Amino acid sequence: MAKTKDWWTDFFPAFRPIFDTINPKDTAAEIKYLTRKLGLKRGSRFLDCGCGIGRISIPLAKRGVRVTGVDVTKSYIDELASRSRRMKLKLELFCSDMRRINFDRRFDAAGNLGTSFGYFDRDYDNELVLKKMYRALKPGGKFMLHVGNRDWIIKNYASFGLTEFGKTRVINKRHFDPARSVITADWIFLKAGQEKTVRSVLRIYSFHELIFMMKRAGFVNIEGFGSVKDDPIGFGSRMMFIVGARPK
C-alpha cells in the first residue's frame, strides 16, 4: 500500500497505462482550445507543468511552440525525452516537484492540465503551485488550470468504481473527507492474475475557491469554462478550464 505522504511516487508509475486509453479526439480538441485561449503560436514559449508523458507537450511542439515540460515522475520524463528525440522535436524537460520550479518571467503561457492540481496536504502548497506558475510568466502571459470540478464530483460521488482498460481491470475505492474536501482513493490494478494497489490523495476545489487562490497569486482577468465550447461552469461540468493572466 502506498503511503499518504508523497503518494504520487508509487501512484503515477502504476497509472501509466491509463494514458493510452485517452481518446485522441479529446486531446486534439483540448490542444485547439488551449492554443486559442492562451494565444499560442509558432515560437511561443509554453510551460507544461506537470507534463506527464507529453499528451499536451508533443502536439504543441509539433505546432512549433517552444515547450518546457516539468513532471515529478522520472519515468514519465524519460519516456517523453525518448519520444521527442524519435520525433525530432526539441523539448526542454525537467524532473521536479512543481512547488520547486523557479522560472522567472520566461514564458508566454503556461498550463497545469489534466487534474495535476491539489496533490498536497496543505492549501498553502497547492497555492504555491499557482504562485510558481505566475512567476514563470512574462508580463501579459496567460495561464490555464484544467482540473476536476468539486461540485460535479460531489453531485456524482460514488465510493466504489470498476473500470476496464483493455486487459487491465481497475477497482477504485474512495473516501471523501468533507472537513478537508479531500478524496483518498485506493486503486487496485488487476492484470493477468497480478494485483497492485496504490493510493491517491486529492484536494478538490470549487470554482470560487480557485478564483480566490489565483487572485492571491496575482492573476487578473480570471475566467472559467466548463468545456472546450466555452460553456459556463455548473453542476454538469465535470472539468473546469480556468484562465488567468499576469498583468502587463
Summarize the confidence of residues 170-178 as an average pLDDT: 96
Per-residue CA distances from 96 to 50, 73, 93, 100 (Å): 9, 8, 10, 7
Q: What is the pLDDT of residue 49?
A: 98
How many residues are listed for the chain in this entry? 248
* pLDDT reading at 3 higher than 90: no
Summarize the confidence of residues 51-75 as an average pLDDT: 98
* pLDDT reading at 62 higher than 70: yes
Structure-block grid coordinates of residue 59: 502536439
Q: What is the mean pLDDT of the chain?
A: 95
Q: Which residues pair with 239 in a beta bridge?
A: 148
Summarize the confidence of residues 18-32 as an average pLDDT: 94
Q: What is the pLDDT of residue 191?
A: 87
Q: What is the pLDDT of residue 230?
A: 98
pLDDT tens digits for range 66-123: 999 999 999 999 999 999 999 999 999 999 999 999 999 999 999 999 999 999 999 9
Assign 165 a pLDDT band (cuts: 50, 70, 90). confident
Summarize the confidence of residues 124-152 as an average pLDDT: 98
Assign 200 a pLDDT band (cuts: 50, 70, 90). very high
* pLDDT reading at 193 higher than 90: no
Between CA 164 and CA 170 the distance in angstroms is: 6
Higher pLDDT, 21 or 154: 154
Q: What is the pLDDT of residue 1?
A: 39
Summarize the confidence of residues 146-172 as an average pLDDT: 94
Assign 124 a pLDDT band (cuts: 50, 70, 90). very high
* pLDDT reading at 2 higher than 50: no
Q: What is the pLDDT of residue 166?
A: 80
* pLDDT reading at 24 higher than 70: yes
Summarize the confidence of residues 188-216 as an average pLDDT: 95
* pLDDT reading at 173 higher than 80: yes
Q: What is the pLDDT of residue 189?
A: 93
Domain annotation for the chain: domains and CATH numbers: 8-148+204-245 (3.40.50.150), 153-200 (2.20.25)
